[in-house]
Chain A
């Protein structure tokens, strides 16, 4: 059986400066040659990285919400970048997205019933009793009361809105969900509720997730596999437990150590990186992390490291893999 999702050499460039006749003079390399795969159904691949690393763009390109510049995306063995409109529509039933901000992801002028019913109407042409039953079942699935059905989004709290967004994403019984920072707009106590809901749904419905998050604790809690991105490229990937306990790449090490841990006994163990993420417009040749790397060598400046298997499915893109800080 082909893997559920396989991405090969995916690139997405955005034009930044244009000449007056419309040709682009430079490109922002948002996603620059990404390979990843989700083998088994019911598993979660976490994408971790800071703002501007291309993780959100990656999620959108995989769903073909943005056109790709180059590469291949196989969903259940079919390259979805080559599908025509009709075929893509059919595939989209199986792939849905949960957005970060539940305040802007819901149309404020229509009721929750209509929000959740919309995919059922457009894809399955349901109506009447059948539609109402399905909507009620979906709301129950995400832990919302059936009496909430005729309310508008503004009548809900952030956590309840995110439940509505999840109900809408589940409406067509997808196999695969892109979760783009699903809890970063929420409070801690509500975050726990939503993470538990997502895990529970995964266990019951066999969903696969691509979880995009800047919060490594959330990634660790949810993911089976993790990929760490920096400036449009994956610098390290492998089993979550392995990557988050023994990262090899100096960026992954610094990122992990910079996460503030709610324990005053762990102060002062973080690796503080100098400087900022360089611009993704015309990125540097050689290793992209070179300018901030605490263990850089001359070779890193000249030659870009490639993602290589360091054993046990732990892939890392670093010339000094394993000799880091």
Chain B
């Protein structure tokens, strides 16, 4: 899948807010792409744009989302229905609000399978049980007839993953799938996703704000800021050798186990809300290495080699060496 120059704006009472101004994002077949960024950076908006599930107040102004050679933005709603939930599926953050509390969890699962594969109820039921076994749920027959409140958060999220995989999709969008879970349960789900990779051939876009989770699961990482990808590259490159000052600062700002530091380096200010699109770099006001050019001209993404793209005017955008102890390297 390829996204090019995608612009999405929201109409609000305070005027138009530019939610996405995404120049370039590619998802390779079979990879896990980590999409990271802070609140309001446009991670979820990207996923919703791909599925064409944007709110009515949102408006796609321009751009294209090419999925298997076809532009999703040119599809009609009827055509989208053959893609959404079949070829592209989604797992949301909060499994409790994605499941209907008055139906057993198996109900939607069996129905999805029956509708998509046009098989008998009995065959769909058997497939549903297989799917629940695939996500390592103990006694899948019992889970099938359990109500959402009878399952724990981790089990519900497993059901959601089973549902998203039941149509054998080509692309799975996972929007903060482990954020609502405890760390020990999160570890279970991350391990499950890793194990499932062998059984499915879907690309996974794993959206999260947690850099630790991304380091754990992703093959490549895209860092978003103010509606655009500022850096993309292999997980090792992003974490060992960040090219954009925002990525570097973000990595320094996390407290890490095993390295106690007196004060944490901070990024001054907050993530901007883009009401008036500006010509320059959106990170300019907070950037410690900014130059005059950054204010007037939007940096284009440059390839640093090995598919490591950085949108920054400073040749490689590296920060000057940080003086606080324990910088970067673990």
Residues of A within 8 A of B (CB): 50-51, 157-159, 187-193, 195-196, 199-200, 214, 216-218, 220-221, 241, 244-245, 254-267, 270, 272-273, 276-277
Contacts of B254 in A (CB 8 A): 188, 192, 217, 262
Q: How far is the CB of A20 from chain B (nearest CB, A)?
A: 24
Per the bound structure, the CA–CA distance linking A255 and B262 in Å amounts to: 24
Q: Which of A157, A187, A256 has the most CB atoms of chain B within a 10 A radius of its CB?
A: A187
In the complex, the answer to whether A266 meets B330 with C-beta atoms within 8 Å is yes
Residues of B within 8 A of A (CB): 38-39, 152, 154-155, 182-188, 190-191, 209-216, 235-236, 239-240, 249-251, 253-258, 260-267, 270-271, 330
Q: Of B154, B183, B210, B216, which contacts A276 at CB under 8 A?
A: B154
Going nearest first, the 10 A-B pairs with the smallest beta carbon separation are A260-B212, A221-B255, A258-B187, A192-B253, A50-B182, A192-B264, A187-B38, A189-B267, A262-B211, A217-B255
Q: How far is the CB of B279 from chain A (nearest CB, A)?
A: 24
In the complex, the answer to whether B38 meets A188 with C-beta atoms within 8 Å is yes
Contacts of A220 in B (CB 8 A): 255, 257-258, 260
Contacts of B209 in A (CB 8 A): 187-188
**7 A-B pairs in the complex with CB atoms less than 8 angstroms apart:** A187-B39, A190-B270, A196-B263, A217-B254, A264-B235, A266-B330, A276-B185
Q: How far is the CB of B207 from chain A (nearest CB, A)?
A: 14
Please name the residue on chain A nearest to B328 by beta carbon.
Answer: A263
Per the bound structure, the CA–CA distance linking A174 and B290 in Å amounts to: 42
Please name the residue on chain A nearest to B192 by beta carbon.
Answer: A272
Contacts of B213 in A (CB 8 A): 260
Q: How far is the CB of A164 from chain B (nearest CB, A)?
A: 15
In the complex, the answer to whether A264 meets B263 with C-beta atoms within 8 Å is no
In the complex, the answer to whether A261 meets B330 with C-beta atoms within 8 Å is yes
In the complex, the answer to whether B183 meets A264 with C-beta atoms within 8 Å is no
Q: How far is the CB of B304 from chain A (nearest CB, A)?
A: 18
Per the bound structure, the CA–CA distance linking A110 and B265 in Å amounts to: 33
Contacts of B155 in A (CB 8 A): 276
Contacts of A264 in B (CB 8 A): 215-216, 235-236, 239-240
In the complex, the answer to whether A276 meets B255 with C-beta atoms within 8 Å is no
In the complex, the answer to whether B154 meets A193 with C-beta atoms within 8 Å is no
Q: How far is the CB of A291 from chain B (nearest CB, A)?
A: 13
Per the bound structure, the CA–CA distance linking A51 and B190 in Å amounts to: 19
Contacts of A277 in B (CB 8 A): 182
Please name the residue on chain B nearest to A260 by beta carbon.
Answer: B212
Q: Of A158, A218, A265, which contacts B255 at CB under 8 A?
A: A218
Q: How far is the CB of B146 from chain A (nearest CB, A)?
A: 14
Please name the residue on chain A nearest to B191 by beta carbon.
Answer: A272
In the complex, the answer to whether A195 meets B187 with C-beta atoms within 8 Å is no
Contacts of A191 in B (CB 8 A): 253
Please name the residue on chain B nearest to A50 by beta carbon.
Answer: B182
In the complex, the answer to whether A276 meets B152 with C-beta atoms within 8 Å is yes
Q: Provided the pairs A188-B253, A260-B212 are in contact, do residues A273 and B184 lie with their beta carbons within 8 angstroms?
A: yes
Contacts of B182 in A (CB 8 A): 50-51, 214, 277
Q: How far is the CB of A243 from chain B (nearest CB, A)?
A: 11
Per the bound structure, the CA–CA distance linking A273 and B216 in Å amounts to: 17
Q: Of A188, A214, A266, which contacts B250 at CB under 8 A?
A: A188
Q: Which of B184, B212, B236 has the most CB atoms of chain A within a 10 A radius of its CB?
A: B184
In the complex, the answer to whether A50 meets B253 with C-beta atoms within 8 Å is no
Q: How far is the CB of B63 from chain A (nearest CB, A)?
A: 26
Per the bound structure, the CA–CA distance linking A214 and B38 in Å amounts to: 20
Per the bound structure, the CA–CA distance linking A295 and B184 in Å amounts to: 16
Per the bound structure, the CA–CA distance linking A120 and B54 in Å amounts to: 47
In the complex, the answer to whether A261 meets B271 with C-beta atoms within 8 Å is no
Contacts of A193 in B (CB 8 A): 266
Contacts of A159 in B (CB 8 A): 270
Q: Of A196, A245, A258, A260, which contacts B258 at CB under 8 A?
A: A245
Q: Other CB < 8 Å A-B pairs besides A221-B255, A262-B330, A267-B215, 9 of them?
A: A188-B209, A190-B270, A191-B253, A192-B253, A199-B262, A254-B184, A265-B330, A267-B216, A276-B185
Per the bound structure, the CA–CA distance linking A214 and B180 in Å amounts to: 12
Per the bound structure, the CA–CA distance linking A159 and B271 in Å amounts to: 11
Q: Provided the pairs A159-B270, A188-B250 are in contact, do residues A195 and B257 lie with their beta carbons within 8 angstroms?
A: no
Q: How far is the CB of A255 from chain B (nearest CB, A)?
A: 6
Q: How far is the CB of A201 from chain B (nearest CB, A)?
A: 12
Per the bound structure, the CA–CA distance linking A189 and B268 in Å amounts to: 8
Contacts of A214 in B (CB 8 A): 182-183
In the complex, the answer to whether B263 meets A199 with C-beta atoms within 8 Å is yes
In the complex, the answer to whether A260 meets B216 with C-beta atoms within 8 Å is yes
Q: How far is the CB of A23 from chain B (nearest CB, A)?
A: 26
In the complex, the answer to whether A221 meets B264 with C-beta atoms within 8 Å is yes
Per the bound structure, the CA–CA distance linking A265 and B236 in Å amounts to: 8
Please name the residue on chain B nearest to A244 by beta carbon.
Answer: B257
Per the bound structure, the CA–CA distance linking A277 and B264 in Å amounts to: 33
In the complex, the answer to whether B249 meets A261 with C-beta atoms within 8 Å is no
Contacts of A256 in B (CB 8 A): 257
Per the bound structure, the CA–CA distance linking A273 and B209 in Å amounts to: 24
Per the bound structure, the CA–CA distance linking A189 and B190 in Å amounts to: 24
Please name the residue on chain A nearest to B216 by beta carbon.
Answer: A260
Q: Which of B155, B254, B271 has the most CB atoms of chain A within a 10 A radius of its CB?
A: B254
Q: How far is the CB of A275 from chain B (nearest CB, A)?
A: 9
Per the bound structure, the CA–CA distance linking A50 and B154 in Å amounts to: 13
Q: How far is the CB of B306 from chain A (nearest CB, A)?
A: 15
Contacts of A158 in B (CB 8 A): 39
Q: How far is the CB of A250 from chain B (nearest CB, A)?
A: 12
